Each structure stands twice: as C-alpha cells, then as structure tokens.
C-alpha cells in the first residue's frame, strides 16, 4: 500500500458562520480527501486526517468548502510520512501496551529450588477483547454453521432479526419468535449479544406502514416500538443501536422533531439500564469522500444530542463497510472520536469482494485492534441461504474457509496463543507477553515425568505500570 502519510493543520474562518471544510490532495491522476473539520471564526480548530500513496509523485494540497464568502486561515500544517514497517511497529507498540501484559511463570519444587527446562503450555479459556461476528436465523437449523461459528466467536449481533421491519411487518402485530430463539441459542453457547437496531432513520428500512403516518401517529408508533423491544430484552443484551444512521438520514427528526434522537436515547436508557445505548453510522472511517458522517460530523451530532437533553451513557458505533482501506484516515478519525472518552465499537466490519479482500480485511482488523480507543469488533458476515452473505462471506456454503475466513482464523489463533509452549530458564523462570484474558497453564518437566496434571487457571489483566508483571507460580515434585 505504499507510504502512509498523517496530515494535520489548524484552521479558522475569517468571519460569519461555521464552515465545513475538507482537506484535499491531488496528484496527476486522482483527487482524494484527507480529512474534515468544522472551522469557526475566532478560534482555531484542528483538522486531522491521512492518506496513502502507492507511487512517488508530486501532491497538491488545498482546502474545499461550500461557503464561498469566507477566507480560510491555515496554520501549523504537518505532513508526516510512515513506511509500512513504521506503521506496523506503531501497531505493535499499542498492542503490547493496551491489549497485552507481561506474565512471569516460576516453577519451583517444594523446597523452593528452581526447576529448569520445565515446559509450559497454555490454553486460553476466555479472550478479554470482544471479537465476534453477525449471525442469521439459519444458524439454529444448520449444524455445520453452528459448529463453525461457535468454535470461533463469543460475541454476536443479529443481522436483521431485531429490526423493526422484521418484528412488526403490520401495525400492532409483533412477532419476536425468531429473535427469542436466537437469543436462547446464543445464551446456550455463552455468546454475548448486542442489539441492532431499535430505530433506523433511513425510511427505506422502516416498516412500510410507518412511512406515511402523521407526526402524532409516528410519535406513538416509535414509543410503542421502544417500549416493546426494550422491555422484552431488558438486561439480556450489552448494547442497543438505538439510532441507526441518523447522520446520513433524518426520518424521525424531520417528522417528529429535531430532538428525536435525544428523546429516543433517553427512553431507551430508562427502560434498560444495563444495555449501553449507541449511535451507529457508516463511512465515518471507511470513505473519506462521504461528508455526511465524518468524525467531525459525529462529534457534532453528539454535542447536539447533549444540548437537546440526553446526558446519559452513550456508545459510538462505527459500521466499517470498507472497499480499499485508507488506514491513516481510519486512525486519524478514531483519534478524533476518542477525545469524547466514549466507548467505540466496530459494529459491522466487512470488505467489498475484490482480489485483495482477505488482505484488506486483515489490515483493517489489525489496525482497529491496535487502536486503544476501540472496545470491540464485530464482523458483518452472517450466512443466510441461499444467497450466502450480504457482502462478505468467511466460508463457502459447506463451511470451508474462504481466504477471508483464513485471515480471521489466523488472527484468532494469534490472539488465543494457540500452540504456545515456553521453557523455564536455569532460575525456573519464563517470561512472556500475553493477550488479556483467562488461561489454563500446564507444566511438564524435562525429565519425561508427566506433570500435565499440574495445571492452574489464571487471568491476565491490564496493569498499572508497563513493566509490571503478573506472576504465576507452580510448585512441583522434582
């Protein structure tokens, strides 16, 4: 993917109202967007973005806005290049600091003498970082799908089965039988579920009978919808996408009132205190050219919702429907959103089908996992016969991995430390770095004596200091 560049600048407008400004760069063959900012008069605002170039070529930078009456003032422009090796090293540093901790194993006998050359094996019981995949109702009646999914994922979201158009195709005729069964399936396999979604601001994906309701009727219908689904699943889900895509679309704001999102969030949180309410949007990190839901617009929407009266907990949902990923833009956008200190989840991650689909998928997962502000990642690869998947599949119809599935399995094996074996030194110690989670460790002595029964369950947690170790001590009969 060539050299990556991180771009930053401080902007201000000469007078008048705030201006929405894009930083653009132009080569001989293409025009791209590097970042966005809402610039104001009387104060400086930072624009942060980035881009990748596959070739060495002159680049022309300029700033674009629809407001033709203002002057744009620019200061402290920075363009920092990174090689692929430098970029990966930064990911590695973040992972070691945020996702892993140092663990020190000590093997001694009952007289406190160190045991050298003891073999330490690990099995991860539970991974701390939430990584999952969407599922469809087909999983309940397809053993191969069930086996493939449950061996890999402990987090899920239902692709369509909790959406309003699925639950209430006709007014006041609700049917939750499918999501009820799917939730029981998830609970049986100890899979954590996030809810998607209560209300969708895109009129194309609301029940057909909802679209022509009067303002009063729509207000009543949305109230019934929120009450119905939240009371039914209260306490059973970790999240709810309360408002889906309310930056690209505005059905409820246009028909009920500009504060509709704030009102719905407040109602949802009141009915289910355990589920974190989310906004959920696409193209915030995927497509720099889309101006509707950039990180800048997302921050502005959150400020608006706060001003309109919702001050409760809130999560930032980033769908993540990628084509060719622009990793510097991804990182810069998440950096901006991280300033809110709100939980950020990747909620619907997939990559469009191209020759490099699996390569891009692995690149994106690694970039997102390495960012300290990301709290979890869910793939959007639910399988639904006969069509397969919405955009990205991980397997064929017989549940043999596609290259995308191989990429995911490679990452899962790495995060689980599959095949891990360590050997104690002459002082009986073995030190390593492990991903946060719950593990079972086993010991085998070098003498050939089978000591596999000597096992210990332990948890690797974040530590206060980088050089702080978790110490796991084994006493064995030498």
Rounded-to-integer distance, Cα 309 and Cα 307, Å: 5
**Are 155 and 302 in the same domain?**
yes
3-state helix vs strand vs coil in the chain, percent to 5: 30, 35, 35
The whole-number average pLDDT for the span 433-458 is 82
**What is the pLDDT at residue 453?**
65
Instruction: Report residue 70's pLDDT band, with 50, 70 and 90 as the boundaries.
Output: very high
| CA 294 to centroid of chain Cα atoms | 16
**What range does the domain containing 189 cover?**
130-406
Of 179, 183, 199, which is closest to residue 191 (Cα–Cα)? 183
**What is the pLDDT at residue 445?**
86
Residue 309 backbone class (left: φ over 0; alpha: ψ -120 to 50; beta: rest)? left
As beta bridge partners, residue 474 has 107
Three-state SS for 386? Answer: coil
As beta bridge partners, residue 80 has 6
**What is the pLDDT at residue 54?**
74
Count of domains for the chain: 3
Residue 419 backbone class (left: φ over 0; alpha: ψ -120 to 50; beta: rest)? left
Q: What is the pLDDT of residues 337-391, one digit of tens each?
A: 999 999 999 999 999 999 999 999 999 999 999 999 999 999 999 999 988 899 9
The whole-number average pLDDT for the span 12-21 is 96
**Are 238 and 272 in the same domain?**
yes
Of 210, 120, 221, which is closest to residue 431 (Cα–Cα)? 120
The whole-number average pLDDT for the span 125-144 is 98
Q: What is the pLDDT of residues 207-241, one digit of tens each?
A: 999 999 999 999 999 999 999 999 999 999 999 99
Three-state SS for 321? Answer: strand
**Are 211 and 247 in the same domain?**
yes
Residues annotated catalytic, as ranges:
245, 348
pLDDT higher than 90, residue 140: yes
**Are 452 and 370 in the same domain?**
no
CATH of the domain at 58: 2.60.120.260
């079972």: which residue's tokens? 440
**What is the pLDDT at residue 147?**
98
The whole-number average pLDDT for the span 8-18 is 96
Three-state SS for 182? Answer: helix
**Are 75 and 144 in the same domain?**
no
Distances (CA, A) of 419 to 122, 123, 471: 8, 8, 21
Phi, psi dihedrals of residue 258, rounded to the nearest 5°: -65, -20
**What is the pLDDT at residue 2?**
63
Residue 448 lies in a domain: yes
**What is the pLDDT at residue 454?**
81
| CA 36 to centroid of chain Cα atoms | 21
Q: What is the pLDDT of residues 297-323, one digit of tens each?
A: 999 999 999 999 999 999 999 999 999
CATH of the domain at 460: 2.60.40.1120
Question: Does 281 or 467 have the greater pLDDT score?
Answer: 281
Rounded-to-integer distance, Cα 363 and Cα 340, Å: 25
**Are 259 and 304 in the same domain?**
yes
Phi, psi dihedrals of residue 348, rounded to the nearest 5°: -150, 50
**What is the pLDDT at residue 447?**
63
As beta bridge partners, residue 346 has 318, 377
Contact 216, 269 (CB under 8 A): no
Instruction: Report residue 28's pLDDT band, with 50, 70 and 90 as the boundaries.
Output: confident
pLDDT higher than 90, residue 53: no
Question: What is the rounded average pLDDT for all residues in the chain?
Answer: 95
Q: What DSSP element (H or E) covers 175?
A: none
Residue 413 lies in a domain: no
Q: What is the pLDDT of residues 243-271, one digit of tens each?
A: 999 999 999 999 999 999 999 999 999 99
Rounded-to-integer distance, Cα 280 and Cα 263, Å: 16
Phi, psi dihedrals of residue 185, rounded to the nearest 5°: -60, -45
Residue 353 lies in a domain: yes
Residue 277 lies in a domain: yes
Residue 319 lies in a domain: yes
Percent of the chain with pLDDT over 90: 90
CATH of the domain at 151: 3.20.20.80
Contact 244, 196 (CB under 8 A): yes
**What is the pLDDT at residue 468?**
82
**Are 200 and 105 in the same domain?**
no
Residue 123 lies in a domain: no
pLDDT higher than 60, residue 291: yes
Q: Is the Cα torsion angle 286, 380, 229, 190 positive or negative in sign?
A: negative
pLDDT higher than 60, residue 452: no
E strands of 220-353, at which residues?
239-244, 276-281, 315-318, 321-322, 344-351
**Are 278 and 378 in the same domain?**
yes
Residue 463 lies in a domain: yes
pLDDT higher than 80, residue 438: yes
Residue 196 lies in a domain: yes
**Are 137 and 111 in the same domain?**
no
**What is the pLDDT at residue 214?**
98
**Are 113 and 188 in the same domain?**
no
Q: What is the pLDDT of residues 169-203, one digit of tens each?
A: 999 999 999 999 999 999 999 999 999 999 999 99
**Are 320 and 396 in the same domain?**
yes
């050939």: which residue's tokens? 448
**Are 365 and 446 in the same domain?**
no
């Amino acid at each position: 993917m060539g050299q990556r560049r991180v771009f930053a600048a401080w902007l201000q407008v000469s007078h008048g109202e705030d201006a929405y400004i894009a930083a653009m760069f132009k080569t001989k063959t293409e025009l791209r967007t590097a970042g966005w900012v809402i610039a104001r008069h009387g104060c400086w605002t930072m624009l942060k973005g980035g881009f990748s170039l596959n070739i060495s070529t002159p680049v022309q930078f300029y700033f674009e806005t629809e407001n033709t009456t203002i002057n744009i003032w620019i200061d402290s422009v920075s363009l920092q290049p990174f090689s692929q090796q430098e970029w990966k090293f930064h990911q590695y540093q973040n992972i070691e600091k945020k996702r892993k901790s140092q663990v020190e194993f000590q093997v001694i006998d009952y007289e406190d003498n160190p045991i050298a050359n003891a073999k330490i094996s690990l099995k991860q019981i539970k991974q701390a970082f939430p990584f999952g995949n969407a599922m469809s109702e087909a999983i309940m009646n397809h053993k191969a799908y069930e086996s493939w999914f449950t061996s890999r994922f402990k987090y899920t979201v239902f692709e369509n089965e909790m959406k309003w158009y699925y639950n209430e195709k006709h007014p006041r005729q609700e049917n939750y039988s499918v999501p009820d069964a799917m939730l029981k399936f998830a609970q049986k396999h100890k899979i954590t579920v996030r809810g998607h979604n209560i209300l969708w601001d895109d009129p194309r994906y609301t029940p057909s009978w909802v679209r022509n309701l009067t303002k009063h009727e729509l207000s009543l219908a949305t109230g019934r919808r929120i009450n119905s689904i939240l009371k039914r699943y209260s306490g059973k889900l970790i999240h709810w996408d309360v408002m889906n895509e309310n930056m690209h679309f505005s059905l409820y704001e246009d028909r009920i009132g500009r504060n509709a999102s704030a009102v719905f969030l407040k109602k949802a949180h009141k009915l289910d205190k355990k589920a974190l309410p989310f906004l959920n949007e696409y193209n915030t990190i995927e497509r720099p050219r889309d101006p509707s839901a950039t990180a800048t617009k997302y921050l502005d929407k959150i400020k608006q919702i706060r001003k309109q009266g919702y001050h409760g907990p809130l999560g930032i949902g980033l769908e993540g429907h990628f084509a060719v990923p622009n990793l510097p833009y991804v990182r810069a956008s998440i950096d901006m959103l991280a300033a809110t200190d709100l939980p950020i989840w990747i909620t619907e991650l997939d990559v469009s089908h191209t020759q490099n689909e699996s390569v891009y998928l692995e690149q994106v997962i690694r970039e997102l996992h390495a960012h300290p502000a990301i709290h979890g990642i869910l793939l959007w690869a639910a399988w639904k016969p006969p069509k397969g998947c919405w955009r990205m599949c991980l397997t064929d119809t017989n549940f043999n991995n596609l290259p995308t599935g191989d990429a995911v399995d490679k990452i899962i094996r790495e995060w689980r430390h599959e095949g891990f074996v360590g050997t104690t030194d002459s002082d009986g110690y073995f030190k390593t770095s492990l991903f946060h989670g719950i593990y079972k460790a086993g010991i085998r002595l070098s003498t050939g004596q089978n000591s596999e029964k000597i096992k210990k369950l332990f948890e690797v947690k974040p530590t206060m200091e980088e050089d702080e170790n978790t110490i796991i001590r084994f006493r064995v009969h030498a």
